[in-house]
Amino acid sequence: MQKYTPFFINYITPQSIPTNCNSIIFINLGTTTAIIESVTLAPSQSFSIDGNAGEYMDAVIQINFSGVGNNNLVVVKKVF
């Protein structure tokens, strides 16, 4: 059995996010639209990228926000 650690990170400003993980989930808890690369998340929507056993994602993902309101994108990473 292999151990992993979940990391929970909140983002409120546009920026680049290094993945460095096996899987990643984006959850828009804000009132604005969150944009992950070209995927648009309305408030309360989520998007995930899952990895298989032994895989490692080494990418940089750009996040942005659109609209008036509160920005709050929660990112959960599964790191071995």
Q: Which contacts of 1-6 are long-range, i.e. CB under 8 A and separated by 24 or more positions?
A: 2/80, 3/80, 4/78, 4/79, 4/80, 5/78, 5/79, 5/80, 6/76, 6/77, 6/78, 6/79
**Per-residue pLDDT, 77:** 98
pLDDT of residue 1: 87
**Whole-prediction pTM:** 0.94
- Residue ranges of the chain with pLDDT lower than 70? none
Residue type at 77 in one-letter notation: K
* pLDDT attached to residue 18: 97
C-alpha span between 44 and 22 (Å, rounded): 23
pLDDT at 58: 96
